[in-house]
Structure 1
Amino acid sequence: MNAAQKEVRAVADLDRVLVLAGGLSPEHEVSVQSGRSVAEALRRMDVEVQVADVDSALLERLAEDPPQVVFPALHGAAGEDGAIREVLELVGVPYVGARPDACRLTYAKPTAKALLAAEGVAVPRGTTLPKSAFHDLGAPALLERTVDRLGLPLFVKPDRGGSAFGATPVTSMPELSSALMSCLGYSDSALIEERVRGTELAVGVLDTGAGPVALPPVEIVPDGGVYDYAARYTAGRTEFFCPARLDEEVLARATGAALTAHRVLGLRDLSRTDLIVAEDGRVVFLEANVTPGLTETSTFPMAATAAGLDFALICRELAHQAFTRGC
């Protein structure tokens, strides 16, 4: 049997995939939608698919009827912080996506920023402060010193998490106090950064076995100027342009930054990097995601379509790759 025949046989042997979706994070509903998209795509490729949430029945399910592959479509804590992938490795089930250590690095936004900055990628100036610092040192004085150092406008967001929960743009001191309260409702630490104005991009990276390849950058233009939760997941609230309406040299630097993030953070299979092309032309790294949104309004499937790729085929190839990779 030659290599091509073995490949066909391996794909044919892939017939039972478990998609994990839901979870207990604020991104539960987005995860459900992503899981539904993946499940429907795999079924179109004649793959038997089951969808399950992360709950007390999961370990028993994996032990009694282990799937060939798990496809995590979980966003937020547990889904992207490495925890569920540690569990999958403990039970010996192959899965799509990054390993636990890479998840932990990526999910901690200040850590990811530091690693990318060390590679020469531009990042926003900022500071990360825990809730205890505001309590012990006094929030008004600490926020005043932060503004003295970083200036205004600012952007406040949780140091972990996604879907823009707890993320707020700030133009004044009163807004900063309010934004901090919202942020600390989602995380124990706040990442306060200078707000970089420019063109917002999402760049997906896909690796189905031949090495990571950047998908066309998606330009994001929310109708309210801020790409918040509603703008991300409400049809019609945001305009998307793919490829982005930027010159080729800028697009090349953006895809280069996404590929650097994928490599430096140790990601595999798929990822998405969020960037800003500043008004002065700098490509600035914001954060990376180990489980990109895969809903109907998500940028990763949009970019795949713009690249001439079939989303259903991508899902099957990723599942097949995890299957042949094993535990």
Structure 2
Amino acid sequence: MHVILIAGGWSDEREVSLSGAKKIHSALEELGHTVTFFDPADDFKSLLTIAKEADFAFINLHGTPGEDGLIQAILDKADCPYQGAGPAASYLALNKAASKEVFEDRGIKTPDWQLVTPVQGVATPLELELPVFVKPNKGGSSLGMSLVKRAEDFPAALEKVFAMCQSALVESFIPGVELTCGILGDDPLPLIMIKPRSDSEFFDYANKYAEDGAEEICPAPVDEELSDSIQAQMVVAHNALGLTGYSRGDFMVTKDGEAYLLEVNTLPGMTPTSLLPQAAGHVGFSFTELIGELIRLGLEKGTHK
């Protein structure tokens, strides 16, 4: 097949996207596909034309565009199939406040939260008990995130997010262990436990991408009951958001065993050492086989209309 590999873009996660695309490109060629690399930051206006000539598009974008559903909407117009969620589901999952409303509606625990917009401004009163996380409402890789422990630091944390042209999601701090759960097709993958570096308070950008970053343990050393519960919740969240193909959700688990879903990622990191490929590897998928499976699922779903 002729596959367009779409990566890069203009979000703050551009370099992460380009880094992952290198291995995906090699895997696509190993699978026998003809690959055309496309960076929407360089030639956005050509996407519809190029997509009409392709058999499939593999999207490796993070943030906007990509996870917001824009690229998927254009691919739908070109009748070009792709892996993962369609436009509406992508946007719903990327918007953390909106997705939390869905989680709560389906009975899935998520940390208490408050949305603060630039219109409300940095003088907006904090409605939650400290400490809290303040993060961009639509973004990833922990960019722009602050852990606020003192009320006087709250306005600066909001300003940091507003400088990124974002609304701010304020979220109660849940002490505990971070676990992540991927979905491949209709089935949950083994949990991964994330242990941040000793000099970090949370799973920040350096923990995710530095060579000496967080320790990731797969499968997570947790009891079967907790594992089954989180996997079941992840399946409910995946379906409630209308996702297809694959996704990955991040959970915090308290010392009492209460699991809280933080967010769901519709375009998980796709390097061989990224979290979802690690979990897929534990159930027998090599990285190249995983790329092939995502293409199969995308073709099976069609153009997501």
In the alignment, residue 67 of structure 1 is paired with which amino acid? A
Q: Which moves more between the two structures, 154-163 or 176-185? A: 176-185
In 1, the alpha carbon distance for the partners of 2:120 and 2:49 equals: 44
- Partner Cα distance (1:324, 1:296) in 2: 24
Aligned AA (2:152): P
For 1:70-85, what aligned pairs fall within 5 Å after superposition?
70-85=57-72
Change (3 A) 1:296 1:184: farther
Residue of 104, 117, 127 corresponding to 2:114: 127
Q: What does 1:37-186 correspond to in 2, within 5 Å?
A: 37-55=23-41, 57-60=43-46, 62-63=48-49, 66-134=53-121, 139=123, 142-143=124-125, 146=126, 149-186=127-164
How many Å separate the matches in 2 of 1:47 and 1:73?
A: 17
What residue in structure 2 maps to residue 11 of structure 1? none
How much does 1:228 deviate? 0.8
Is 1:166–1:185's contact at 8 Å kept on the other side of the alignment? no
Structure 1 residue 296, shift from structure 2 partner: 4.1
| Count of residues paired in the alignment | 300
| TM superposition shift of 1:133 | 0.6
Task: Kindly provide the amino acid, as one letter, of the partner of residue 168 in structure 1.
Answer: S
Question: Which of the pair is proportionally richer in helix?
Answer: 1
Query: 1:61 deviation in Å?
Result: 5.8
| Map of 1:220 onto structure 2 | 194
Whether 2:273 is the aligned partner of 1:287: answer no
Letter of the structure 2 residue corresponding to residue 133 of structure 1 = Q
Which is further off, 179-188 or 108-117? 179-188
Q: Is the 8 A contact 1:30 1:295 kept in 2?
A: no
CA distance in 1, matches of 2:47, 2:93: 29
Q: SS where residue 92 of structure 2 aligns?
A: helix
The match for 1:19 is: 5
Picking from 19, 22, 37, the partner of 1:33 is 19
Counterpart secondary structure, 1:319: helix
| C-alpha contact (below 8 Å) 2:277/2:290 kept by paired residues | no
Q: Distance in 2 between matches of 1:277 and 1:20?
A: 35
Contact 1:68–1:323 (Cα < 8 Å) also in 2:
no
Does the aligned pair in 1 maintain the 2:8–2:41 contact within 8 Å? no
- 1:253 has 2:229 as partner: yes
Q: CA deviation at 1:40?
A: 1.6
Whether 1:201 aligns to 2:179 is yes
Q: CA RMSD in A?
A: 1.7
Following superposition of structure 1 onto structure 2, how do residues 312-327 of structure 1 map, counting pairs within 5 Å? 312-327=288-303
TM-score normalised according to structure 1 size: 0.87
Q: Is the 8 Å Cα contact of residues 76 and 161 (structure 1) preserved in structure 2?
A: yes
Q: CA deviation at 1:104?
A: 1.3
C-alpha contact 1:17 1:319 (8 A) present in aligned 2? no
Task: Give the deviation of 1:178 after TM superposition.
Answer: 2.4
Residue 59 of structure 1: CA displacement? 4.6
- Alpha-carbon distance between aligned partners in 2 of 1:279 and 1:168, rounded to the nearest angstrom: 23
Give 1:295 shift: 2.2
Shift of 1:128: 0.4
Identity %: 34
Q: Take 2:61 and 2:5, find their aligned partners in 1: how far apart are those partners? A: 9
Distance 1:60 1:177 in 2: 42
- In structure 1, C-alpha distance between the alignment counterparts of 2:69 and 2:47, rounded to whole Å: 20
Q: Distance in 2 between matches of 1:182 and 1:58?
A: 29
Between the aligned partners of 2:299 and 2:149, the Cα distance in structure 1 is: 49
Aligned equivalents of 1:61 and 1:113: distance in 2?
32
Runs of 5+ unmatched residues, structure 1: 1-14
Aligned with 2:244 (options 238, 253, 268): 268
CA distance in 2, matches of 1:18, 1:116: 33
Distance 1:110 1:280 in 2: 26
Maintained 8 Å contact 2:40/2:47? no
Corresponding residue for residue 169 of structure 2: 191
Q: Corresponding residue for 1:278?
A: 254
8 Å CA contact retained: 2:138, 2:166? no
Q: For residue 16 of structure 1, report the CA deviation from its aligned partner.
A: 1.7
Asked if structure 2 preserves the Cα contact closer than 8 Å seen for 1:219 and 1:245, the reply is yes
